[in-house]
Chains A and B, each alone.
Chain A
Amino acid sequence: MAGYLLIESRDPLESRDVASHFYDLAAGLARRGEPVTLFLVQNGVFPARRRAQAAALDAVARAGVEVLADDFSLRERGISSDRLDPRVTAAPLDVVIDRLVEGRKALWH
C-alpha cells in the first residue's frame, strides 16, 4: 500500500528543522495525494498542545495529513487530552506498527 508514516520525535523549539522541513515534507507528500500520517512522539508531542504551534499544524492539517500524538508521551509530559489541538488525536504507539504492517514508507526524525 502506498503512503507514508513520518515519525517526529523532536520539539520545534529544540530543532529548527522540525516545522520547516519535516512538517513541510508531510504536507508536500499529502498534497501529492498520498496518505500521510505524522506521528508525534517523545518531545515531538509538545506542538500537540492547543495553540502551541497552531500555524505549523494548520499547514499539515490543511494538506490532509493525519496527525497523531503518542498517548504515553503525552502522559509523561502532563498533557491531557482536553489540552490537545483539535487537529491532533492521541493514539497508542501500536498505530506505528499498524502503519508499518500496511506498508507505509516510514521515516523517523
Chain B
Amino acid sequence: MTTKKTLAFLLMDAPYESARTTTAFRLVDAAIRRGHDVSVFCYEGAVALSFAKQAPHPNAVHGRDLAQEDHPNPKDWIAALAAQADRSGAKLAWINCGLCVDERGVGEVVSGVGRGSPVDFWKSAEAADNSLVIPTKG
C-alpha cells in the first residue's frame, strides 16, 4: 500500500434511487481496502442510507422468499464497510446532516453513524488529503 491518506466523500442520493450510491460504496470500499482513512458526509436523501429500520423483503412476483431474495439494505453495506475498515486498519467516519435527518425522520441509525451539520463536511475536507463530492443529478 502507498502511504496512508485521508479521503473525504460527500453523498447526496437517497437509497435505491441511483447507481451513484453503488459507485460511492465501491469507492469507499476501495479506499479502506487500501488502508486509507475515509470520512463520509451524507446530505439530503443520503442520510437515509444508514436508517436502522430498513428491512429486507421477499419477492412475490418472482416467487422468492426472504432468504432466496437476499435483498440488500444500504445500512448493512455501511456496517460491512465499517467491518472492512477494521480489518484494513483504516478509519471510517460516517456523519449524517442532522437537519436532513430530522426532515426525513430517519434518526434511528446503525451503529457507528454520527450526526453533524454541513460544516462537518467542510472540516473533514479541510483535514483530508483530498475530497470528492458526488452530487445528485441536477
A41 pairs with B23, CB closer than 8 A: yes
Q: Which A residues touch B36, using CB under 8 A? A: 97, 101
| Chain B residues within 8 Å of chain A by Cβ, number | 20
Q: How far is the CA of A100 from the CA of B27 in the complex (A)?
A: 11
Q: How far is the CA of A27 from the CA of B114 in the complex (A)?
A: 40
Interface flags for B1-42 (1: CB within 8 Å of A; 0: not) read 010010100000000000110010011001100101000000
B132 contacts A by Cβ under 8 Å: yes
B134 contacts A by Cβ under 8 Å: yes
A86 contacts B by Cβ under 8 Å: no
Q: Which B residues touch A7, using CB under 8 A? A: 132
9 contacts between A and B (CB under 8 A): A42-B19, A97-B30, A97-B36, A101-B2, A101-B7, A103-B129, A106-B132, A108-B133, A108-B135
Binding site for B on A (CB under 8 A): 7, 9-10, 41-43, 70, 72, 92-94, 96-97, 100-101, 103-104, 106, 108
Could you list 11 further interchain pairs (A-B, Cβ under 8 angstroms) beyond the known A97-B30, A104-B130?
A: A9-B19, A43-B19, A72-B26, A93-B27, A97-B27, A100-B5, A100-B31, A101-B2, A101-B5, A101-B129, A108-B134
